[in-house]
Chains A and B, each alone.
Chain A
Amino acid sequence: MNKNTKINALLLLVVAALAVLPLALGLGDGEEEPFAGADAQAETAITEIDPDYEPWFSPLYEPPSGEIESALFALQAALGAGVLAYYFGLRRGRRQGEPHASAEQDGGAAEGGAGESAARRS
């Protein structure tokens, strides 16, 4: 593993630790509903402040169960991750293909020139 990869892995590790620690330390234990959404807590707070408040509009479509909802959230994350992976894959492929392409084009004549055009194009 080179230094770059190590730093990237370390970044991911810290993010994972930040997510897992609250669970591992049981920080939700005192709550009525441990690790509920902050938005649901805000709804509760609103009804505490103003017990008469009634939401005046309801979602046009509501996922019928928690499973469907988490499936849709997973879909959202998968869509995003897919596009990101496509982007980085394409960039990597282009970068790897570039030395070949420019070597073919100018027969590997001007090394500095190829480097410059690579920097400009990528």
Chain B
Amino acid sequence: MHIAEGFLPPAHAIAWGVASAPFVVHGVRSLTREVRENPESTLLLGASGAFTFVLSALKIPSVTGSCSHPTGTGLGAILFRPPIMAVLGTITLLFQALLLAHGGLTTLGANVFSLAVVGPWAGYAVYRLLRRYEVPLMVAVFSGAFVADLSTYCVTSVQLALAFPDPGSGFLGALGKFGSIFAVTQIPLAVSEGLLTVLVMRLLVQSSKGDLTRLGVFLADKRPGTRAETEAVAR
């Protein structure tokens, strides 16, 4: 769930826009480079964007008695690194803002920052960290997707708490309030997103070993010895 149109004061809207813009510009550069250097990536890039499209369209009931939707950004961040997700996430947010009145143009910067910047980076960081300690691929994928999803909504809560601190309890009071609306609702959905991302990754391992090998998904870390392991997996 994104921050609705007009629900951030102009100064905040502009500030988040300024904060997000470099990530999106950098992402567009990474994306064009990836497509130019590895034209065979285009299909999988499309599939990663499509995954975000599907998941962010599904509003799912949660334990808090309200609904929210996953983000789907973890998969692309793991496969193609976070800068590319900044672009794919922004496209999804634009679609929803323009056609569905979900999110908005004035809050686009803030929503891009949470969904397309912090989410992918946080998920990717957790994924890389776990892989470095030789955690099994699917456990790392689940954790990465879970964190990408949940961190997005933690950022949304912070953004709203900054814009609307509680008159009595201040920023922290408001953070608790928005956190209970967004972040707590999101916990089971983040689990779902983690499981669905694992499912898609399992299908990719079955169907697209070549792509995954090229993208370094099977590399636990860049230590000697892992290369043989990668080749063994690729066969």
**A residues at B contact (CB < 8 Å):** 4, 7-8, 11-12, 14-15, 18-19, 21-23, 27-31, 34-43, 45-46, 49-50, 53, 55-63, 69, 72-74, 76-77, 79-84, 87-88, 90-92, 95, 115-116, 119-122
Contact = CB atoms under 8 A, between A and B. Distances in A.
Contacts of B7: 42-43, 46, 55
A49 B58 CA distance: 29
Would you call the interface of chain B mostly helix, strand, loop, or mixed? helix
A31 B65 contact: yes
A55 B102 CA distance: 14
- Nearest 9 CB-CB pairings of A with B: A55-B6, A80-B53, A80-B54, A83-B50, A28-B65, A59-B101, A77-B57, A57-B6, A91-B207
Contact of A76 (B3, B57, B235): B57
A84 B54 contact: yes
10 contacts: A11-B195, A19-B192, A38-B181, A39-B1, A41-B181, A49-B174, A57-B106, A115-B235, A119-B209, A119-B213
Interface in B142-177: 160, 164-167, 174, 177
Contact of B234 (A7, A58, A119): A119
Contacts of B211: 122
A87 B174 contact: no
A37 B208 contact: no
A19 B182 CA distance: 16
A87 B181 contact: no
B65 A18 contact: no
The A interface is mostly helix, strand or loop, or mixed, namely helix
B228 interface: no
B124 to A, nearest CB: 21
Contacts of B62: 22
A59 B208 contact: no
Nearest to B234: A119
B33 interface: no
Nearest to A12: B199
Contacts of B106: 56-57
Contact of B195 (A14, A45, A53, A58): A14
Contacts of A72: 99-100
Interface stretch (B16-24, B41-49, B77-85): B41-49
Contacts of B185: 38
Contact of B104 (A27, A37, A59): A59
A77 B58 contact: yes
Contact of B66 (A12, A18, A36): A36
Given A49-B164, A79-B53, A91-B207, A35 B195 contact: no
Nearest to B56: A76
B52 A80 contact: yes
Contacts of B189: 18
Contact of B65 (A30, A43, A83, A87): A30
Given A18-B191, A55-B6, A81 B50 contact: yes
A43 B47 CA distance: 33
Given A14-B195, A43-B7, A57-B106, A27 B1 contact: no
B31 interface: no
B226 interface: no
